[in-house]
């Protein structure tokens, strides 16, 4: 017996062992599952954040519009006409909007106050999907009522 055939057999076993791909599928499955999980967290968490930002902006706009519509002019109170003191309504609505952390526009059309809350937010989860900022734009309206039955 010579040592050569045993040595060749050992090298052959080692080469076969080096090409063994058992477990590779599990690694790929783990990579794909982790990527899908991060994507879902970004989608679900980011979507929830976006909805919360929109609700917050709409609430701020509606509250500012209500505050502006409360600025009924003195002439309207005396005559029973629904009319807003334009300057006071705009100032009060802007103040409420700013206090709630939003910027925007305020318009008075007759007895109706229209407020648009705008702002840019940096979400927590959406950067996982390459979205670093979101722009929010929501509108709220309110109508002045100068009498209890009006």
Q: What is the pLDDT of residue 129?
A: 77
pLDDT tens-digit series, residues 17-53? 566 677 778 888 999 999 888 888 877 888 888 999 9
pLDDT tens-digit series, residues 77-112? 666 666 788 899 999 999 999 999 999 999 999 889
| Whether pLDDT at 75 is above 80 | no
Closest by CA position to 47, among listed 125, 118, 121: 125
What number is the average pLDDT over the span 108-132?
Answer: 89
Output the pTM of the full model: 0.70
The CA distance from 58 to 115, in Å, is 9
Q: What is the pLDDT of residue 148?
A: 56
Cβ atoms of 111 and 47 within 8 Å: the answer is: no
Supply the mean pLDDT for the chain. 83
């Amino acid at each position: 017996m010579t040592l050569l055939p045993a040595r060749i057999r050992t090298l052959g076993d080692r080469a076969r062992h080096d090409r063994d791909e058992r477990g590779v599928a599990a690694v790929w499955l783990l990579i794909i599952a982790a990527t899908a999980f991060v994507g879902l967290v970004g989608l679900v968490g980011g979507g929830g954040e976006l909805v919360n930002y929109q609700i917050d902006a709409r609430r701020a706009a509606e509250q500012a519009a209500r505050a502006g519509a409360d600025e009924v002019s003195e002439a309207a109170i005396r005559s029973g006409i629904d009319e807003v003191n334009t300057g006071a309504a705009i100032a009060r609505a802007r103040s409420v909007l700013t206090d709630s952390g939003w910027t925007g526009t305020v318009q008075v059309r007759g007895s109706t106050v229209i407020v648009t809350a705008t702002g840019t937010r940096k979400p927590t989860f959406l950067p996982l999907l390459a979205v670093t900022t979101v722009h929010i734009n929501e509108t709220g309206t309110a109508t002045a009522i100068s009498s209890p039955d009006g």
